[in-house]
Amino acid sequence: MRLTSYTDYALRVLLYLGARPGETCSIAEMARNYGISQNHLMKVVHHLGKSGHVASFRGRNGGIRLALAPETINVGALIRRSEGHGGPNPGGLLDCGACVIGPACRLTSVIDEALAAFFGVLDHYTLADLLEGRAASLRRLLCIEAATAD
C-alpha cells in the first residue's frame, strides 16, 4: 500500500508547524527546508486550513501555524481525510468490479481487514505523539531556529 504525496506533505506540514508551537511559518520556508514543491504545499496548506488544522494570516508578518493543539490531531483521521475517504482507495485496494472471480474471491475481505488494522494502529496516535521528545531534532534537521525549548 502506498499513501499519496498529498498525505505525505500534509503530515510534513503539521510536523513542521508542531515543531514550532505558536510560531508563524511560511509555505516558502517549509518548501525550501523540505526540498519540495512550494506549489504542491500551497494546495495542501489550503486544504489543511479549510479542515481547521492550520490557521493562515495575511500581510507582512503573515504565514501559517497550527490551529489545533497537537494532541487533538489524530493521525488516522488525518490520513483518511487526506486520502479522501476511509482508505487509500474507496472500493478497497483492489479493483474487483471487473474481475471474473470477484464473487467467489475472499481476497477483498482480507485486504479490507488489513486496512482496518492499519488505520486502527494510526488511530492510536496524535500529532503530539509524533512530536514527543523530537521537536528539537526536527528543528535541527530542518534548520529551524528554536524559539522555544522542548
Range of lowest pLDDT (14-28, 48-62, 106-120, 132-146): 132-146
- Rounded-to-integer distance, Cα 41 and Cα 31, Å: 7
96: its cell numbers = 474487483
Secondary structure class of 102 (helix, strand, coil): helix
C-alpha cell at 106: 475472499
Nearest to 71 by CA among 118, 125, 26, 116: 125
DSSP state of 55: E
Give the pLDDT of residue 136. Answer: 81
Q: What is the pTM of this model?
A: 0.83
**Whether pLDDT at 11 is above 50:** yes
CB 74 within 8 A of CB 126: yes
Contact 81/40 with Cβ under 8 angstroms?
no
Tell me which residue of 10, 74, 71, 78 sits closest to 44, measured CA to CA: 10
Q: How much is the pLDDT for 149?
A: 45
Output the pLDDT for position 3.
Answer: 87
Phi, psi of 142 (to 5 degrees): -95, 10
